[in-house]
């Protein structure tokens, strides 16, 4: 991470780790987390036995969602000083973000026992304990071949109230009029009736079940095709994409590349808009699964809480079943492969291998499905453990071998915030696109989408900034324990 020239010059000949720590703290407070990590690392190089430095860097890694790196630093801080309470706090936060709730609970318990009068420690211990018990209960009552969540949904019993003034399905089908009225309804901060919401979920579930894990898409020579990255519940920015680039249609096809929900507090509005377009234009509107289309992520980052608040816990369970059937990747004209995360922990993976992935499940911690949803590119050659704690980091040589083996031009992925909304890496063969501007109302990043045509498949990048939204903060529905990891 490059530092400001003046700061770099100031620290050029510095040898005092405390100076690097103080400057890193300033950068952290200014939300320049990458630069803060760089300076904490320099301080650690000069003072490698200082537990506080590892704890501080762990906190910065948490802020950048590098939960694996945060866990490693927290472990090191505890190794150096077993009585350093902040080390346990940081480790609990990393475990929590990785969905390792039992491990998080052990650390929160250690903090609570060490500081029995600390109300914050007590609250986190109690909340984590409730979460672990809830998950254990859900597992205990779940049995192999148990009923689908859809089986408890009785559409016919859901009456459309006389005062409902939202959109109506026509003969049970999504129409262009319906989608336009739905978007207008959401802009007015109103809801779609639960009967229609469940009907859309049922229909899109039935459709996705029939799709392969890798969907092949054909684009005509003169046809325009649009690729969007993460949306993360930023509905009003989604509407801006359609303002700038036109509504989806049979002559204006789109692919949304995962992470439609979580973090942003208008995830319900985003997902029903996207699912409606999928049903309206099934052969011209595509959706790939992201790592946030999963139960664990939805429990922590807000989608489950939002669905429960706006509809019901039952609907949240239905969403989990729908997400399990989302395709994992798309291949455009057999030349461009698109997935949410990235490439694989092993060489010799073919497109046919992706087609054969059994995806009707929650994402595993390793394997092809995991890597498709979680991996990230790195500038260095080869592979490295992911700083996220899940998936791998893959270098330009890995990308080169993969596209050569599969006769591809390049790959497109999302999954990472980029200051400009996109990034071209690995000699132009690995492109990242991220479509949520000013992510979480804090990152100040531009967003982008990609357009291309079938003739040359050359990516064209279109940048845009955030637009105003109602005064509902991001993470408004997130688990309170997750919010605590940021404090």
If you count them, how many residues does the chain have? Answer: 487
pLDDT tens profile 264-292: 999 999 999 999 999 999 999 999 999 99
Give the predicted TM-score (pTM) of the model.
0.95
Give the side-chain half-sphere CA count within 13 A for 153. Answer: 22
**CATH H-level superfamily of 155-484:** Metallo-dependent phosphatases (3.60.21.10)
CA distances from 442 to 239, 316, 408, 445, 471 (A): 20, 27, 36, 9, 14
Q: Where does CATH 3.60.21.10 sit in the chain?
A: 155-484
Of residues 61, 112, 292, 426, which has the active-site annotation?
292
Residue 284 annotated as catalytic = no
Which band of pLDDT confidence, cut at 50, 70 and 90, is reported for residue 143?
A: low
Which CATH architecture best describes the domain 5-141?
Alpha Horseshoe (1.25)
Would the pLDDT of 393 be above 80?
Answer: yes
Q: Where does CATH 1.25.40.10 sit in the chain?
A: 5-141
Report the run of H or E that residue 433 belongs to, with start and end. Answer: strand 430-433
> Residues 245, 207: contact at Cβ < 8 Å?
no
User: Following DSSP, what letter does each residue of 33-70 receive, concatenated?
Assistant: HHHHHHHHHHHHHH-TT-HHHHHHHHHHHHHTT-HHHH
Give the side-chain half-sphere CA count within 13 A for 34. Answer: 8
Kindly give, in sequence order, each residue whose CB lies less than 8 Å from that of residue 122, ignoring residues fewer than 6 positions away. Answer: 112, 116
pLDDT tens profile 303-362: 999 999 999 999 999 999 999 999 999 999 999 999 999 999 999 999 999 999 999 999
Residue 62: what pLDDT?
93
């Amino acid at each position: 991470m490059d530092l400001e020239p003046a700061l770099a010059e100031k620290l050029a000949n510095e040898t005092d780790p405390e100076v690097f720590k103080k400057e890193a703290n300033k950068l952290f407070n200014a939300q320049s987390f990458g630069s803060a990590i760089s300076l904490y690392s320099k301080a650690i190089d000069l003072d490698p036995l200082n537990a506080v430095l590892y704890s501080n860097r762990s906190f910065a890694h948490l802020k950048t969602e590098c939960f694996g790196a945060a866990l490693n630093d927290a472990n090191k801080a505890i190794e150096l000083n077993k009585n350093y309470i902040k080390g346990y706090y940081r480790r609990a936060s990393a475990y929590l973000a990785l969905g390792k709730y039992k491990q998080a609970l052990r650390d929160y318990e250690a903090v609570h026992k060490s500081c029995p009068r600390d109300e914050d420690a007590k609250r986190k211990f109690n909340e984590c304990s409730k979460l672990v018990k809830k998950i254990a209960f859900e597992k205990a009552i779940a049995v192999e071949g148990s009923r689908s969540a859809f089986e408890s949904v009785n559409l016919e019993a859901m009456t459309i109230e006389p005062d409902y003034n939202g959109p109506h399905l026509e003969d049970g089908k999504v129409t262009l009029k319906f989608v336009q009225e739905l978007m207008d309804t959401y802009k007015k901060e109103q809801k779609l009736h639960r009967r229609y919401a469940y009907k859309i979920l049922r229909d899109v579930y039935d459709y996705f079940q029939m799709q392969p894990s890798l969907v092949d898409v054909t684009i005509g020579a003169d046809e325009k095709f649009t690729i969007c990255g993460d949306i993360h519940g930023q509905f009003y920015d989604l509407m801006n994409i359609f303002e700038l680039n036109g509504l989806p249609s049979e002559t204006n096809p789109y692919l949304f590349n995962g992470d439609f929900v979580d973090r942003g507090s208008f995830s319900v509005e985003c997902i029903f808009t996207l699912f409606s377009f999928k049903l309206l234009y099934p052969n011209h509107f595509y959706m790939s699964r992201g790592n946030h289309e999963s139960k664990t992520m939805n429990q922590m980052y807000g989608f489950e809480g939002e669905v429960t608040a706006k509809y019901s816990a039952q609907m949240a369970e239905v969403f989990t079943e729908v997400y399990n059937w989302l395709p994992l990747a798309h291949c455009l004209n057999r030349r461009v492969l698109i997935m949410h995360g990235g490439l694989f922990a092993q060489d010799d993976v073919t497109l046919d291998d992706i087609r054969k992935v059994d995806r009707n499940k929650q994402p595993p911690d390793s394997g092809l499905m995991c890597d498709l949803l979680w991996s990230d590119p790195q500038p260095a050659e080869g592979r490295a453990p992911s700083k996220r704690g899940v998936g791998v980091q893959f270098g330009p040589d890995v990308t080169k071998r993969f596209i050569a083996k599969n006769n591809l031009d390049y790959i497109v992925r999302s999954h990472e915030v980029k200051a400009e909304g996109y990034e071209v890496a690995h000699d132009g063969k690995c492109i990242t696109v991220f479509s949520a501007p000013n992510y979480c109302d804090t990152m100040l990043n531009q967003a982008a989408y990609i357009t291309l045509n079938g003739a040359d498949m050359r990516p064209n990048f279109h940048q845009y900034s955030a637009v105003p939204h109602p005064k509902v903060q991001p993470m408004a529905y997130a688990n309170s324990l997750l919010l605590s990891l940021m404090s």
